[in-house]
Structure 1
Amino acid sequence: MEDVATKETLDLFNDLIRVNNDRIAAYMKALEALKPEDADLNILFVRNIDQSRRFRRVLVTELQALGGDLDIDDSLGGSIYKMWANVTPVAENHSRRAILAGCIFGEDTAQKAYETALESPHLPLHMATTLFEEKQLMEIARDQVRVLRDHVSPA
């Protein structure tokens, strides 16, 4: 039987795995919505997908090292980080600005999830360092998307 601290850490890792899964799915959805003239965004979106895949691998490895099981059921009550829900307008409005705005919303949500995780008193020190570094890399990704959005004229 696992102690409370271990259970909370496992739940935290599963939540962050969900965040990265959602981030991957959202960028894949955004890729599908791109118009030919927005092909320059393709590289950025693929890079962000690959980034979340790397982060997810680290989290899964740590989860398993603690004896935890991967539990990414979206119906879990503890899944407060279900993000990118507001990206739905992207599917209806394929404008470059709308796609980028949806991505920024998701990136902001991911930042909040990582901030919450970093506040956990049960987070192992080595993972606090790892999550802090991942958060910083996601901040850079968010800022790149924000700069691109800000250079697009409002419709």
Structure 2
Amino acid sequence: MTHLEELSSTLNDLVLIHNDRIEGYVKSIEIVDQKDADLKMLFAKMISNSRGHISELGELIHEIGGEIENGTTTSGKVFRTWMSVKSVFSADDRTSILESCEEGEDAALKAYDTALASDAEMSADVRQMLMEQKSSIKTDHDQIKKLRDLHKSLA
């Protein structure tokens, strides 16, 4: 595998984790109560963030001659499990949903750690972009965790 193919594969792993992330937040929007408009808006923001990251990753993949993968991660790829389906569908309270979302954010952060630690050769600009995207996801993670902790303490 050439270094460009390896880089394309690494970037596509991140595209797939973002597709997982989008799917997880779409499911979350569908299951939260109508009264939880704040969560619906937050999840919509997370979806928008992932779409922006996919766009940036896609541009890089095309620049190096690769094709953007569609779909979500499969076993053996980056990190599986955006959402624990059983916990999301067995509990409809805010705390359970936020806990599942935090697990998804943990998976996304791990995917970035894996990409940044990979053997794929990447320019300083690519590495910087990945670090900025990871930072954005860390901010999202911390926001979800803060809300989860708040709702857990109120329960």
- What displacement does 1:85 show? 4.2
- What displacement does 1:42 show? 1.4
Moved more, 30-39 or 135-144: 30-39
Structure 2: runs of 5 or more not aligned: none
Whole-Å separation in 1 of the counterparts to 2:132 and 2:72: 26
C-alpha distance 120-80 of structure 1, shift in aligned 2 (>3 A): closer
- What displacement does 1:73 show? 5.4
- What displacement does 1:98 show? 0.7
Q: Deviations over 1:7-62 (max 9, x none)?
A: 11011011000011110110010001111232211111111100000000011111
Code of the aligned partner of 1:36: Q
Code of the aligned partner of 2:147: L
Whole-Å separation in 2 of the counterparts to 1:16 and 1:32: 24
Aligned-residue CA RMSD (Å): 1.9
Whole-Å separation in 2 of the counterparts to 1:75 and 1:145: 22
Structure 1 consecutive aligned stretches of length 4 or more whose deviation exceeds 6 Å: none
The normalised TM-score by structure 1 is 0.90
Whole-Å separation in 2 of the counterparts to 1:75 and 1:128: 22
Structure 1: runs of 5 or more not aligned: none
Q: State the partner residue of 2:15.
A: 17
Moved more, 56-65 or 37-46: 37-46
Q: State the partner residue of 2:118.
A: 120
- What displacement does 1:80 show? 2.9
- What displacement does 1:76 show? 6.1
The normalised TM-score by structure 2 is 0.90
Aligned residue pair count: 153
The question of whether the paired residues in 1 share the 8 Å contact of 2:19 and 2:71 is answered with no
